Amino acid sequence: MTITQLEYVIAVDTYRSFVAAANKCFVTQPTLSMQIQKLEDTLGVKLFDRTHQPVIPTEIGEEIIAQARVLLAESEKIKEIISDRQKELSGELRVGIIPTVSPYILPKILNGFIQKYPQVKLIVWEQTTEQIIQQLKMGTLDCGILSTPLAESSLTEIPVFYENFVAYASKNSKLYKKRTITPEDIDMEEIWVLNEGHCMREQVLNICQRRKATKGFQHFEYNTGSVETLKRMVDMNNGATILPELALAEMSDRQRDRVRYFKSPEPAREVSIVIHRNFLKRRMIEALKVEILDFVPKRLRTKKKKEIMAI
């Protein structure tokens, strides 16, 4: 049994294809297949059901592959020990980030991070919470920047900041006529929300206590994954929406006049760096956390007088 064989097995499990796995491992498909066959012969079991398309692990294969991921992570720690002794951070950091956080964090921290750590290659994917969780478990991401808590036993959450939610209302909205608001003031019939699959949608519905419409008829249903689109819908089509506070940074004075803050305790979301419990690249991930904290306003670094919304 070799580390290379385990890497090939994990690649096939991740991409569910011998051809795709070979491409990702930069070897020919016959070479990869031969090494996996050798490992199966050594173990005396079949790791994959090759008659199924896409390829899937056998029952015992699933258990062996899970342990192989642990073994590979432990072997990578040897390289990390050496890296930690070096003064300069170097290597690749693969990060997943949810779309409702990405536009308000990444543009602000990327240049500073790259200038401080020129030997680090930062690879970022904007994905949903579910996608990031799955890739963290498979080891194809080093960390995720997500709204938490997630209640995932195999993952570790490192809270970074606590971002308040605010209302953004058109002039014909009842919310616009108030200086500060409460969740009870929100009329779900006029609220624009994100589509299914986005954790912020659930948090907004929790703020509104999942109140159902009591009157009227909605002639239009709009599905979007963009917070910025929600803001534009209010600007152009009336109604109101709920935004994360960092989304206010680029607003004009006219737009800021439409923002209404919640009374204390203010609804907020916890944003964390999420890692696998057998995580690697500790120094790089800590450096990323520091860079984010340097950007985030001090008032968002505490959860005092805030109510953290569940996902």
**How does pLDDT run across 23-50, given as a tens digit for each residue?**
999 999 999 999 999 999 999 999 999 9
- CATH number of the domain encompassing residue 133: 3.40.190.10
pLDDT given for residue 213 in this prediction: 47
Q: Are 10 and 35 in contact (CB under 8 A)?
A: no
Residue 54, preceding peptide bond in cis (omega within 30° of 0): yes
pLDDT given for residue 228 in this prediction: 85
Of 82, 108, 125, which residue constitutes the final position of a domain? Answer: 82
Q: What is the pTM of this model?
A: 0.77
Of 15, 50, 82, which residue constitutes the final position of a domain? Answer: 82
Q: Which of 62-66, 189-193, 220-224, 275-279 has the lowest mean pLDDT?
A: 220-224
* Interior angle at CA 173, CA 172 and CA 179, nearest 5: 115
Exposure pattern of 17-33 as b/e (b: 16+ CB <10 Å)? bbebbbebbebeeeebb
How confident is the prediction for the chain on average, in pLDDT? 88
Residue 260 and residue 202 in one domain: yes
What's the structural domain count of the chain? 3
pLDDT given for residue 78 in this prediction: 81
Residue 276 and residue 287 in one domain: yes
Residue 280 and residue 263 in one domain: no
Q: Residue 236's domain spans which residues?
A: 162-267
- CATH number of the domain encompassing residue 74: 1.10.10.10
pLDDT given for residue 223 in this prediction: 58
pLDDT given for residue 75 in this prediction: 84
**Alpha carbon separation from 224 to 102, 109, 113, 177, 229 (Å, rounded):** 16, 26, 31, 27, 7
Residue 197 and residue 237 in one domain: yes
- Mean pLDDT of all residues in 261-284: 90
Of 235, 251, 267, which residue constitutes the final position of a domain? Answer: 267
Identify the band that residue 84 occupies on the pLDDT scale cut at 50, 70 and 90: low
Residue 148 and residue 109 in one domain: yes
pLDDT at 198 over 60: yes
Say how far apart CA 226 and CA 41 lie, in whole Å: 50
Residue 77 and residue 118 in one domain: no
Residue 251 and residue 233 in one domain: yes
Residue 167 and residue 251 in one domain: yes
Residue 260 and residue 133 in one domain: no
pLDDT given for residue 224 in this prediction: 65
Residue 172 and residue 249 in one domain: yes
pLDDT at 218 over 50: no
